[in-house]
Amino acid sequence: MAKGKGAIYPGSFDPVTNGHLDVIQRAAKIFDHVIVAVADNTSKRPFFTIQERVSLLQDVTRGIKNVCVETFDTLVVDYARHKNINVLIRGLRMTSDFDYEFQIALTNRRLAEDIETVFLMPSEHVSFVSSSLLKEVAGLNADISSFVPKVVVRKLKEHLRRK
């Protein structure tokens, strides 16, 4: 893939939210090819397995032709170099995200100054949605159907029933 034509949107996506999907759709309009890269980070304790997260993302992005879903278990800049891509997408929901995302972007720049970070903001109606908050309220039987795709609602309910 030629540099500048593609971008990587990395994250844990545990689970994918309508905010994530909004950022994916925005990135797909800007770049020729977008890889949604699901982090296989063993130091975190994800709610869903890596396979479940990939499957959910594949399901909700199926209609977006220039998007694919993959996993990675390295530094994201190493993964980007391996893919010959020099743009990372990061979503900014609220101003409170900025400090954390800015630290990540500067660290990545120090590690790989040839790789740029582009920040995309989701639509305002999904800008406050966070995966961790959704898991918490879903566990308390709240209706989260306006925050996540329908397939995620079903999968969350199944997962919570098994616990």
> Which positions ≥6 away from 89 have C-beta within 8 Å?
7, 8, 9, 10, 23, 27, 34, 117, 118, 120
Average of per-residue pLDDT values in the chain = 90
Distance CA 162, CA 73 (A): 28
- As assigned by CATH, the class of the 6-162 domain is alpha beta
Q: What 8-state DSSP symbol labels residue 145?
A: T
Signed CA dihedral, 16, 101, 90, 46: sign only? negative
Least confident of 12-16, 99-103, 110-114: 99-103
Question: What is the DSSP secondary-structure string of 70-109?
Answer: EEE-S-HHHHHHHHT--EEEEE--SHHHHHHHHHHHHHHH
For residue 93, the one-letter residue type is R
Which residues are bridge partners to 51 per DSSP? Answer: none
- Whether the CB-CB separation of 154 and 125 falls below 8 Å is answered with no
Q: Furthest-apart CA pair in the chain: how many Å?
A: 47
For the segment 16-57, what is each residue's pLDDT rounded down to a tens digit? 999 999 999 999 999 999 999 999 976 778 889 999 999 999
Provide the annotated active-site residues.
20, 44, 93, 131
Q: What is the pTM of this model?
A: 0.91
